[in-house]
Protein backbone atom coordinates (compact mmCIF):
# COMPACT_ATOMS: atom_id res chain seq x y z
CA UNK A 1 0.00 0.00 0.00
CA UNK A 2 1.35 3.44 -0.94
CA UNK A 3 0.25 7.00 -0.24
CA UNK A 4 1.40 10.33 -1.62
CA UNK A 5 0.50 14.00 -1.20
CA UNK A 6 2.13 17.14 -2.56
CA UNK A 7 1.18 20.71 -1.73
CA UNK A 8 -0.32 22.09 -4.98
CA UNK A 9 1.68 25.30 -4.57
CA UNK A 10 4.91 23.28 -4.62
CA UNK A 11 4.17 20.54 -7.15
CA UNK A 12 5.61 22.29 -10.20
CA UNK A 13 8.70 23.57 -8.37
CA UNK A 14 9.54 20.14 -6.93
CA UNK A 15 9.11 18.45 -10.30
CA UNK A 16 11.33 21.06 -11.98
CA UNK A 17 13.91 20.54 -9.24
CA UNK A 18 14.13 16.87 -10.21
CA UNK A 19 11.79 15.27 -7.70
CA UNK A 20 8.78 14.03 -9.65
CA UNK A 21 8.33 10.71 -7.86
CA UNK A 22 9.23 8.57 -4.85
CA UNK A 23 12.43 7.15 -6.34
CA UNK A 24 13.84 10.60 -7.07
CA UNK A 25 13.39 11.62 -3.43
CA UNK A 26 14.67 8.30 -2.15
CA UNK A 27 17.90 8.62 -4.11
CA UNK A 28 18.45 12.27 -3.21
CA UNK A 29 21.76 12.02 -1.33
CA UNK A 30 22.06 15.58 -0.07
CA UNK A 31 23.61 17.25 2.97
CA UNK A 32 22.66 15.44 6.17
CA UNK A 33 21.79 17.90 8.94
CA UNK A 34 21.93 15.34 11.73
CA UNK A 35 23.40 11.92 12.32
CA UNK A 36 21.12 9.17 11.10
CA UNK A 37 19.03 7.17 13.56
CA UNK A 38 19.68 3.46 13.17
CA UNK A 39 18.10 0.46 14.86
CA UNK A 40 18.18 -3.29 14.44
CA UNK A 41 20.75 -5.93 13.68
CA UNK A 42 22.48 -3.78 11.06
CA UNK A 43 22.32 -0.23 9.74
CA UNK A 44 19.97 -1.24 6.94
CA UNK A 45 17.34 -2.87 9.18
CA UNK A 46 15.81 0.39 10.37
CA UNK A 47 17.00 3.92 9.76
CA UNK A 48 15.87 7.53 9.60
CA UNK A 49 17.70 10.73 8.68
CA UNK A 50 17.25 14.36 7.58
CA UNK A 51 18.81 16.19 4.62
CA UNK A 52 18.90 19.87 3.67
CA UNK A 53 18.24 20.71 0.02
CA UNK A 54 18.68 24.14 -1.60
CA UNK A 55 16.56 24.56 -4.74
CA UNK A 56 17.77 26.56 -7.74
CA UNK A 57 15.49 29.45 -6.77
CA UNK A 58 17.22 29.70 -3.40
CA UNK A 59 14.45 28.19 -1.30
CA UNK A 60 15.47 25.60 1.27
CA UNK A 61 13.58 22.41 2.03
CA UNK A 62 14.22 19.54 4.42
CA UNK A 63 13.91 15.92 3.34
CA UNK A 64 13.29 13.25 5.97
CA UNK A 65 13.58 9.62 4.87
CA UNK A 66 13.14 6.46 6.85
CA UNK A 67 12.92 2.72 6.34
CA UNK A 68 11.27 0.24 8.71
CA UNK A 69 11.30 2.88 11.43
CA UNK A 70 8.34 2.18 13.70
CA UNK A 71 7.27 3.63 17.06
CA UNK A 72 7.81 1.72 20.30
CA UNK A 73 4.06 1.16 20.64
CA UNK A 74 3.59 -2.59 20.16
CA UNK A 75 0.31 -2.33 18.26
CA UNK A 76 1.62 0.29 15.84
CA UNK A 77 4.79 -1.70 15.33
CA UNK A 78 2.81 -4.84 14.54
CA UNK A 79 0.72 -2.87 12.05
CA UNK A 80 4.00 -1.56 10.56
CA UNK A 81 2.89 2.07 10.81
CA UNK A 82 6.03 4.17 10.37
CA UNK A 83 6.74 7.17 12.57
CA UNK A 84 6.64 9.53 9.57
CA UNK A 85 3.17 8.24 8.72
CA UNK A 86 2.15 9.22 12.23
CA UNK A 87 3.77 12.63 11.78
CA UNK A 88 1.79 13.20 8.58
CA UNK A 89 -1.48 12.17 10.23
CA UNK A 90 -0.74 14.33 13.27
CA UNK A 91 0.23 17.26 11.07
CA UNK A 92 -3.14 17.17 9.35
CA UNK A 93 -5.01 17.12 12.67
CA UNK A 94 -2.96 19.99 14.07
CA UNK A 95 -3.55 22.00 10.90
CA UNK A 96 -7.28 21.36 11.19
CA UNK A 97 -7.14 22.64 14.79
CA UNK A 98 -5.29 25.79 13.69
CA UNK A 99 -2.10 24.95 15.61
CA UNK A 100 1.01 26.57 14.04
CA UNK A 101 3.55 23.96 12.93
CA UNK A 102 6.20 23.49 10.30
CA UNK A 103 4.74 23.23 6.79
CA UNK A 104 4.86 19.79 5.16
CA UNK A 105 4.90 20.17 1.37
CA UNK A 106 5.25 16.51 0.40
CA UNK A 107 4.56 13.17 2.02
CA UNK A 108 4.86 9.71 0.53
CA UNK A 109 5.05 6.14 1.77
CA UNK A 110 5.37 2.77 0.10
CA UNK A 111 6.19 -0.86 0.62
CA UNK A 112 9.24 -1.79 -1.45
CA UNK A 113 11.04 -5.15 -1.43
CA UNK A 114 9.38 -5.95 1.87
CA UNK A 115 10.46 -2.66 3.47
CA UNK A 116 8.22 0.18 4.67
CA UNK A 117 9.68 3.43 3.32
CA UNK A 118 8.49 6.97 4.10
CA UNK A 119 9.35 10.49 3.00
CA UNK A 120 8.43 13.85 4.54
CA UNK A 121 9.49 17.12 2.90
CA UNK A 122 9.00 20.43 4.70
CA UNK A 123 9.68 24.10 4.12
CA UNK A 124 12.55 25.77 5.90
CA UNK A 125 11.43 27.75 8.92
CA UNK A 126 13.14 30.82 7.53
CA UNK A 127 14.05 33.44 10.11
CA UNK A 128 12.99 31.16 12.97
CA UNK A 129 15.13 29.63 15.71
CA UNK A 130 14.41 26.93 18.29
CA UNK A 131 14.14 28.22 21.84
CA UNK A 132 17.06 26.11 23.09
CA UNK A 133 19.40 27.79 20.58
CA UNK A 134 18.02 31.18 21.52
CA UNK A 135 18.77 30.51 25.18
CA UNK A 136 22.39 29.63 24.31
CA UNK A 137 22.62 32.92 22.43
CA UNK A 138 21.12 34.83 25.37
CA UNK A 139 23.68 33.28 27.71
CA UNK A 140 26.59 34.20 25.43
CA UNK A 141 25.42 37.77 24.82
CA UNK A 142 22.75 39.09 27.15
CA UNK A 143 19.24 38.11 28.17
CA UNK A 144 16.40 40.15 26.67
CA UNK A 145 14.53 42.61 28.87
CA UNK A 146 11.67 41.19 30.93
CA UNK A 147 9.15 42.79 28.58
CA UNK A 148 10.76 40.99 25.65
CA UNK A 149 11.01 37.71 27.58
CA UNK A 150 7.31 37.82 28.45
CA UNK A 151 6.49 38.49 24.81
CA UNK A 152 8.47 35.35 23.94
CA UNK A 153 6.76 33.12 26.49
CA UNK A 154 3.38 34.57 25.55
CA UNK A 155 3.97 33.56 21.93
CA UNK A 156 4.78 30.04 23.10
CA UNK A 157 1.79 29.96 25.43
CA UNK A 158 -0.59 30.88 22.60
CA UNK A 159 0.52 27.88 20.54
CA UNK A 160 0.36 25.46 23.46
CA UNK A 161 -3.00 26.83 24.61
CA UNK A 162 -4.42 26.41 21.09
CA UNK A 163 -3.16 22.86 20.96
CA UNK A 164 -4.38 21.89 24.42
CA UNK A 165 -7.79 23.49 23.88
CA UNK A 166 -8.16 21.06 20.98
CA UNK A 167 -7.30 18.15 23.32
CA UNK A 168 -3.92 17.55 21.70
CA UNK A 169 -0.55 16.97 23.37
CA UNK A 170 2.71 17.36 21.49
CA UNK A 171 4.34 14.73 23.73
CA UNK A 172 7.90 15.84 22.94
CA UNK A 173 7.78 19.50 23.91
CA UNK A 174 11.52 20.09 24.14
CA UNK A 175 13.27 23.37 23.41
CA UNK A 176 14.55 22.13 20.05
CA UNK A 177 10.96 21.55 18.89
CA UNK A 178 9.64 25.06 19.71
CA UNK A 179 10.54 27.69 17.10
CA UNK A 180 10.16 31.46 17.30
CA UNK A 181 10.57 34.12 14.62
CA UNK A 182 13.74 35.42 16.23
CA UNK A 183 16.69 35.09 13.86
CA UNK A 184 20.28 34.87 15.07
CA UNK A 185 22.59 36.97 12.92
CA UNK A 186 26.36 37.07 13.46
CA UNK A 187 25.93 35.58 16.93
CA UNK A 188 23.28 38.10 18.01
CA UNK A 189 19.52 37.73 18.23
CA UNK A 190 17.03 40.13 16.69
CA UNK A 191 13.62 40.31 18.37
CA UNK A 192 10.87 41.55 16.01
CA UNK A 193 7.96 43.76 17.02
CA UNK A 194 5.50 40.89 16.60
CA UNK A 195 6.40 37.41 17.83
CA UNK A 196 4.97 34.06 16.88
CA UNK A 197 5.91 30.45 17.54
CA UNK A 198 5.38 27.08 15.90
CA UNK A 199 6.08 23.42 16.64
CA UNK A 200 8.02 20.73 14.80
CA UNK A 201 8.54 16.97 15.25
CA UNK A 202 4.97 15.74 15.46
CA UNK A 203 5.61 11.99 15.50
CA UNK A 204 4.64 11.48 19.16
CA UNK A 205 1.59 13.75 19.19
CA UNK A 206 -1.46 12.26 20.94
CA UNK A 207 -5.11 13.23 21.36
CA UNK A 208 -6.18 12.53 24.97
CA UNK A 209 -8.86 15.24 25.14
CA UNK A 210 -9.11 18.79 26.48
CA UNK A 211 -9.56 17.72 30.13
CA UNK A 212 -6.74 15.21 30.28
CA UNK A 213 -4.08 15.61 33.01
CA UNK A 214 -1.55 14.65 30.32
CA UNK A 215 -1.76 18.18 28.94
CA UNK A 216 0.30 19.38 31.88
CA UNK A 217 2.12 16.17 32.75
CA UNK A 218 3.27 15.27 29.23
CA UNK A 219 3.81 18.75 27.81
CA UNK A 220 4.32 21.52 30.36
CA UNK A 221 6.40 19.47 32.77
CA UNK A 222 8.56 18.24 29.91
CA UNK A 223 9.00 21.75 28.52
CA UNK A 224 9.84 23.30 31.89
CA UNK A 225 12.43 20.65 32.72
CA UNK A 226 14.11 20.88 29.32
CA UNK A 227 14.64 24.66 29.47
CA UNK A 228 15.72 25.14 33.12
CA UNK A 229 17.73 28.28 32.32
CA UNK A 230 14.62 30.41 31.86
CA UNK A 231 13.97 32.83 34.77
CA UNK A 232 11.58 31.42 37.38
CA UNK A 233 9.28 34.43 37.61
CA UNK A 234 8.73 34.33 33.85
CA UNK A 235 7.77 30.67 34.15
CA UNK A 236 5.21 31.51 36.82
CA UNK A 237 3.87 34.29 34.60
CA UNK A 238 3.53 31.74 31.80
CA UNK A 239 1.68 29.32 34.08
CA UNK A 240 -0.79 31.98 35.22
CA UNK A 241 -1.37 32.97 31.61
CA UNK A 242 -1.91 29.33 30.66
CA UNK A 243 -4.32 28.73 33.54
CA UNK A 244 -6.15 32.01 32.95
CA UNK A 245 -5.54 33.38 36.45
CA UNK A 246 -4.01 36.59 37.80
CA UNK A 247 -2.83 35.22 41.15
CA UNK A 248 -1.49 31.80 42.05
CA UNK A 249 -4.17 29.64 43.65
CA UNK A 250 -3.30 26.66 45.89
CA UNK A 251 -3.98 24.38 42.90
CA UNK A 252 -1.73 26.48 40.67
CA UNK A 253 1.03 26.38 43.28
CA UNK A 254 0.83 22.58 43.31
CA UNK A 255 1.11 22.54 39.52
CA UNK A 256 4.07 24.92 39.69
CA UNK A 257 5.86 22.65 42.17
CA UNK A 258 5.10 19.68 39.97
CA UNK A 259 6.44 21.06 36.71
CA UNK A 260 9.02 23.70 37.57
CA UNK A 261 12.39 22.77 39.08
CA UNK A 262 14.19 25.32 41.25
CA UNK A 263 15.54 28.11 39.08
CA UNK A 264 17.85 31.05 39.50
CA UNK A 265 17.37 34.63 38.25
Range of the domain at 63: 3-123
Task: Please tell me the total count of domains within the chain.
Answer: 2
Residues 94 and 184 occupy one common structural domain: no
Residues 109 and 158 occupy one common structural domain: no
Question: Has residue 203 been placed in a domain?
Answer: yes
Q: What CATH number does the domain containing 181 carry?
A: 1.10.510
pLDDT of residue 138: 96
Residues 173 and 208 occupy one common structural domain: yes
pLDDT digits (tens, 9 = 90+) for 70-86: 877 666 666 678 899 99
Mark which of 98, 123, 148 sits at the end of a domain. 123
Residues 134 and 243 occupy one common structural domain: yes
Q: What CATH number does the domain containing 13 carry?
A: 3.30.200
pLDDT digits (tens, 9 = 90+) for 213-231: 999 989 999 998 888 889 9
Residues 133 and 255 occupy one common structural domain: yes
Question: Has residue 83 been placed in a domain?
Answer: yes
Q: CB 167: neighbour CB atoms within 10 A?
A: 16
Q: CB 179: neighbour CB atoms within 10 A?
A: 25
pLDDT digits (tens, 9 = 90+) for 2-40: 789 999 999 999 999 999 999 999 998 777 787 666 665
Question: Has residue 145 been placed in a domain?
Answer: yes
Residues 199 and 221 occupy one common structural domain: yes
H or E segment and range at residue 28: none
Question: Has residue 264 been placed in a domain?
Answer: no
Amino acid sequence: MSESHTDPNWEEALTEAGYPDFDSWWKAEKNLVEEGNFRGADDNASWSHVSRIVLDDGRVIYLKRQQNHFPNNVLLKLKRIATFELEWQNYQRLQAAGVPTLKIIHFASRKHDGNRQCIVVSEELKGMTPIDELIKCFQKTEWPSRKERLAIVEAIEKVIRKMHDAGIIHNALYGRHIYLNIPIEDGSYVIPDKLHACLIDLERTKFPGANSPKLIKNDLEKMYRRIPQWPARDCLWFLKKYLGIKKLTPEAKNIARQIAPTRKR
